[in-house]
Amino acid sequence: MADVFISYHRSEGASALVRRIAGELESRGVTCWYDTKNAAPVDFIERTVTEIERCKVFLFLWDEQANEDSKKRNSYVRSEIQWAYGEKHIALFPFQVGNFEKNKTLRFYFGHINIPYGGDTPETAQTGKLVNAIADALDKTQPLSIITQPQIPLVKIIGSGQCGNHVAYILDENGLLSIAGIGPMWDYELDDKFFNVDEQETQHYRPWEMVREKISHIEIQNGVTTIGCTAFLDCKNLTSVSIPDSVTYIECMAFSFCDNLTSVSIPKTTKIHPLAFDHITRVTRREPADNQ
C-alpha cells in the first residue's frame, strides 16, 4: 500500500496538481495513491478505505471546489477526511490552493494544523515545502536529486547531459532519447528569435543539435513538467514520442518540422502552444493514465 493517500475534488486543475505533487513525492521514494489509480475490478469504496487505513500520511488538496463539495453529507472528500481523522496513526497534511473562506466542517478536522498556502491557482502552486515536509515525516529526507538519470537498457550511449536545471537526457545508439527529472526543460532559441521567451532562461544550443538526425524515439519520464521551445525542432527521423501526464505545457515549435512524426498522443490536461506541432498530421488527447 502507498505511503501517502491524496484526497481531492476532481477538476482539471486539481487533477494536474495532484499528479505533479505525486511525481515530486515519488521522486523522493514516497509512494502515493489517489483515486485515478483505482484498479478494476476492486470495489472503489473498499479500495479507498483500505488505502486510507494503511497509508502513513493523508494529504488533502484544499481548493475551493473541495471546500464547497465537503459541505454535502454525501461528499467523497468529506467521507475520506472523516475516515482518516478516525485513524489516529495517520498524519494529516492539508494543502490550501486558492483564497476562499474555509467551511466549518473542514476547519473542525484541520483546526489544530498550520495549513500551508500553496498559491492562488493549481498551475502556479508552490509545492516544494509541502513535499519536503511529507518526506521529513516519512523519514525520506534525502534532497531532490539535481539529475534523475533515465532508466535505459545497457546499450552504447552517444550523448548525455542536462536539458533543464533538474532534468537530464541520455541518447543511445538505437536512437532512443530518454529525458527524466523534476520540473521544466530548458527553452532553446532560434536565430531570428521570433517568439517571446525569457532570454535569461533560454539556452543557445540544444545539446543533441549535432546528432538530432539519430533521434528516432523520445521517452519523457513522469516528473518533467514542460517541453522547451524548439527542443526537438527539425528532428527529421523522429517517429514516436511518449509524453507523461506530468507535462503541463509544450512550448513553441517544440516538435515543429518533425516530418516522420505523423501522430502523437498528448495528456488531456497539457496545454500546447499553437506552433508546438507545426506540420504534424495528427495530435490526439488522452485521459490521465491509471498508473501515473
Domain ranges in the chain?
4-137, 157-286
For position 88, what pLDDT does the model report?
A: 61
CATH of domain 157-286: 3.80.10
Of 81, 72, 75, whose CA–CA distance to 106 is shortest?
A: 81
Q: Are 226 and 184 in contact (CB under 8 A)?
A: yes
For position 98, what pLDDT does the model report?
A: 94
Q: Are 93 and 42 in contact (CB under 8 A)?
A: no
CATH of domain 4-137: 3.40.50.10140
For 110-126, b/e burial (b = at least 16 CB within 10 A) is beeeebbebeeebeebe
Q: Any alpha helices (H) in 55-127, and if so which ranges? A: 64-69, 76-86, 104-110
Q: Are 4-137 and 157-286 equal in CATH topology?
A: no
Whose cell is 541520455? That residue is 170
- Spatial separation of the C-alpha atoms in residues 251 and 249, rounded to whole Å: 6
Give every strand in the sheet of 157-164, ordered side by side. Answer: 157-164, 167-172, 176-181, 217-220, 240-242
For position 89, what pLDDT does the model report?
A: 67
For position 192, what pLDDT does the model report?
A: 40
Mean pLDDT in each 10-residue stretch from start to end of the chain (292 residues)? 90 89 85 70 74 91 93 86 79 92 87 84 88 83 45 67 84 89 84 42 74 93 91 92 92 91 86 87 70 40
- How many Å separate Cα 152 from the centre of its chain? 21
Backbone φ and ψ of 97, nearest 5° = -130, 115
Query: Which cell numbers in the block locate residue 94?
Result: 492539508
- How many Å separate Cα 112 from the centre of its chain? 30
Answering whether pTM is above 0.85, one says no
- How many Å separate Cα 8 from the centre of its chain? 16
Bond preceding residue 41 cis, omega within 30 of 0: yes
For position 7, what pLDDT does the model report?
A: 94
- Spatial separation of the C-alpha atoms in residues 25 and 137, rounded to whole Å: 12
